[in-house]
Amino acid sequence: MTLTHLPQPTKNTDSDTAEVSLSYEQVEALGRELDELRARVVADLGERDREYIYSIISVQRKLEFAGRAAMYVPFLPPVWLAGVGSLALSKILDNMEIGHNVMHGQYDWMREDTYNSREFDWDTVCPGDQWKHSHNYMHHTYTNILGEDRDVGYGILRMDRDQKWNPYYLGNLAYATALMVFFEWGVMLHDLEAENIVQGKRKWTDVKGLLKGMWNKASKQVAKDYIIYPALTGPFFASTLVGNASANIVRNLWTYSIIFCGHFPTGAQTFTSEECADETKGQWYVRQMLGSANITGSRLFHILSGNLSHQIEHHLYPDVPANRYPEMAAEVREICERYGLPYNTGGLSQQLGSTWKKIAKLSLPNFMTKDDNNVVVNIEREKAAGAA
């Protein structure tokens, strides 16, 4: 099949909505191109990638040490504040570029005892194994499918016009703000599916094991940051506790912001179970691209976001080392453009702004606001009858 007859995005005359249609064969050809890109990068993995992740871990350890040390000098406020910043940065690197990516299996090929998806656990209250279930499996398999991907609204928020409105959602902005501040705890509770327990769809006995895992993990994390390290600073117990809590909250604000920019800015699409039933790998790829959004920024910004600023590439290749996403992005974008597909990207303030705007708008029923998705993509899900 030649790609010379690709449809161009055409502007619909009676609205701002552009419509793109891809045939079954075009989607499969797109899938093959993405598979080839992956194969090229995977074949090239080696010492460079190992050195990269170890260098990030080394920086994270140093930042953590500096942050813990600064807690001994609360009487010098600038040093203490720098310590909070250092500890927050350490936790951000730990959760994003190290934890999230290692637990995706991105570094399993190194065959290291700790830095693999089976053994790793991160510096947050959410147990690694539970997160791997709700994130690696549920979210990455069923990305943006309403009713299946619980990352759409986390069971608390209304994040899509197709979620039925009720008066509870008038508090959308307040719930989102609370989730942002206490994000680490929200992530911990994610796998419980609390709203399903409330609605009686899930029994308490089903979640006993999950609760025990949460208790084991969270109690150790709380003991570390709010008892042991404060106690180790002796007379500065209170200031260290405040410092550690602040670092955790700064990390929460950052991780929430990056993660919410991944799937909720204007233009990111959602799907129904029916349309995604029996989808091919090519169709899965298209869904990942349409449902994800990138953030532009400097190299440092990408590292601090765990390269989730390359959310599109991450969703296409969740187990490819994240330090490879920047070099893959140019090619993914070129492929998108060639097939007429949108490649949703923008600066942090733009993506964040549009995400909060969406949270605000969706607190109201649909008739009071208007849909601002500007590209509609139709893909032919079934092979046309009689096609070769």
Instruction: Using CB under 8 A, list all residues that contact another protein.
Output: 35, 39, 42, 45-51, 57-58, 61-62, 104-105, 108-114, 116-118, 121-123, 128, 132-133, 136-137, 140-141, 217, 220-221, 223-224, 228-229, 232, 281, 284, 318-319
Minimum CB–partner distance for residue 63 and another protein (Å): 12
Q: Would you tell me how many other CB atoms lie within 10 Å of the CB of residue 161?
A: 17
Alpha-carbon dihedral angle through residues 152, 22, 285, 95, given to the nearest 10 degrees: -50
Q: Say which residue the tokens 């050809």 belong to.
A: 29
**Toward another protein, which CB reaches closer, 321 or 346?**
321
Minimum CB–partner distance for residue 196 and another protein (Å): 19
**Toward another protein, which CB reaches closer, 39 or 198?**
39
Minimum CB–partner distance for residue 151 and another protein (Å): 14
**Toward another protein, which CB reaches closer, 50 or 357?**
50
Minimum CB–partner distance for residue 316 and another protein (Å): 10
- Among 355, 353, 370, 362, residue whose Cα is nearest residue 168: 362
Q: Largest alpha-carbon pair distance within the chain? A: 80
**Toward another protein, which CB reaches closer, 306 or 318?**
318
- What's the rounded Cα separation, in Å, for the pair 31 and 261? 25
Q: Provide the residue type at 121 as one letter.
A: D
Minimum CB–partner distance for residue 57 and another protein (Å): 8
**Toward another protein, which CB reaches closer, 123 or 151?**
123
Pairing of strands 375-379, 294-295: unpaired
SS3 172: helix
- Among 172, 326, 175, 352, residue whose Cα is nearest residue 258: 352
